[in-house]
Structure 1
Amino acid sequence: MDRHPSAQAGSEAPPRGALIAATEAVDRGIAILCQGVLLLTGTALMAVMTANVVTRYVLASGGFDWAEEVPQQLFPWFIMAGVALAVQRGGHIAVEWLMGFLGREGRRAVLLAGHALVAVAYLVLCWQALQVAEIVSIERSPVLGLAGSYGYWAVAAGCILLAIGTLTIAVRIALTGPEALPTPSPEDVPT
């Protein structure tokens, strides 16, 4: 029995549809996570800032001392979750003049190279954020006593999600072509 190595059970590459479905599942998971972070941090930010404004007029002390620190801790998580969602929906900055000069396969190659470069850049930024987080972890916020590293952890976590999101888009582009590049909805595009 002279079987080719690729014909052995378990060694076949997954079908294209399964890879696309896997990337879409990863994207759905990231979207759910980011939407949850946006909901929690946005609600907390709004509640804390509203309560602080109200207490400035009600209390003689002029508000809550800790209310100044909460936005510093939550805002980076809020922003990074929004950026990760924007990448998934094609709502990031793009320069597309070169694409008009290229054929379909040229566009695919440029998009794949660009996405690979961007994913690597996000991973490098994640590494740098973790290094800075380690350095500032000894700093404590005056009232809450929280480590100064929380905001940098948000940047690192966001960069991981951005790298994964960028790679899932790249896989879909590699499998189906440049038309797999997400495009923002018309209401998200400035006129």
Structure 2
Amino acid sequence: MLARIDRCVGHVFRAIPIACLAALFVLLLVNVVARSFSLASFPWFDEVVQGLFAWMVFTGAAALWREKDHFAVDWLPLALTGRPAQMLHILLALLSICFLAAMTWYGFGLARSARALTPILEMPVSLFYAAIPLSGAVMLACSLADLVRLITTSPARPEVSA
């Protein structure tokens, strides 16, 4: 059951940034064409771009984090073996958990306390900020699962690269 939920979350967190990027591409294309031929002006353009970009960045980061496809400098973890390698991976997982917990906590506070509306569309800015704690919670859950795997794995060869 957990594997099915994980796969579903993975698909959703891959689809959101793809959809946001596609929407950004279309909006930019329409805006450039409309301005080039003096057809129309879209005063709401910046607001929508800001929201789409926020969701694309944070959900994309969560998708990469979940699948461990993000950039990582791994020369030291690859150079170590046995118990030192496992201890380094555990330390890196703990540091990630601390950062992601703070990001999720403060992101939730930011999204909850934001009362502003966008000037043209009057959309709540908290909708843009909601991407931070949501993505942070997904990355935090993945990091906690990785930490459990690291602790329960034999020190000879850790399965997870932090």
Tell me how far apart the structure 2 counterparts of residues 159 and 86 of structure 1 sit (CA, whole Å): 12
**Does the Cα contact within 8 Å between 1:84 and 1:162 map onto a contact in 2?**
yes
Letter of the 1:138 counterpart: R
Q: 1:92 aligns with which of 59, 65, 71?
A: 71
Q: Shift in Å at residue 99 of structure 1?
A: 6.0
Which residue of structure 2 aligns with residue 42 of structure 1? 21
CA gap 1:29/1:168 in 2 versus in 1, 3 angstroms: farther
Q: Which deviations, in whole Å up to 9, do the C-alpha atoms of 1:52-84 show, x marking residues without a partner?
A: 1111123454x2111121110111110112212
Counterpart mapping for 1:1-191 below 5 A: 22=2, 25=4, 27-61=6-40, 63-87=41-65, 88-94=67-73, 96-97=75-76, 100=79, 102-135=80-113, 137-177=114-154, 178-182=157-161
TM-score by length of 1: 0.71
Q: Shift in Å at residue 27 of structure 1?
A: 4.3
Letter of the 2:147 counterpart: A
Aligned-residue CA RMSD in angstroms? 2.5
Letter of the 1:39 counterpart: I
Percent identity (aligned): 19
Q: Secondary structure at the match of 1:170?
A: helix
Q: Shift in Å at residue 49 of structure 1?
A: 1.4
Aligned residues: 159
Q: Shift in Å at residue 143 of structure 1?
A: 0.9
Tell me how far apart the structure 2 counterparts of residues 29 and 49 of structure 1 sit (CA, whole Å): 30
Note the residue ranges of structure 2 that are not aligned, 5 or more in a row.
none
Letter of the 2:45 counterpart: A
State the structure with more CA Rg: 1
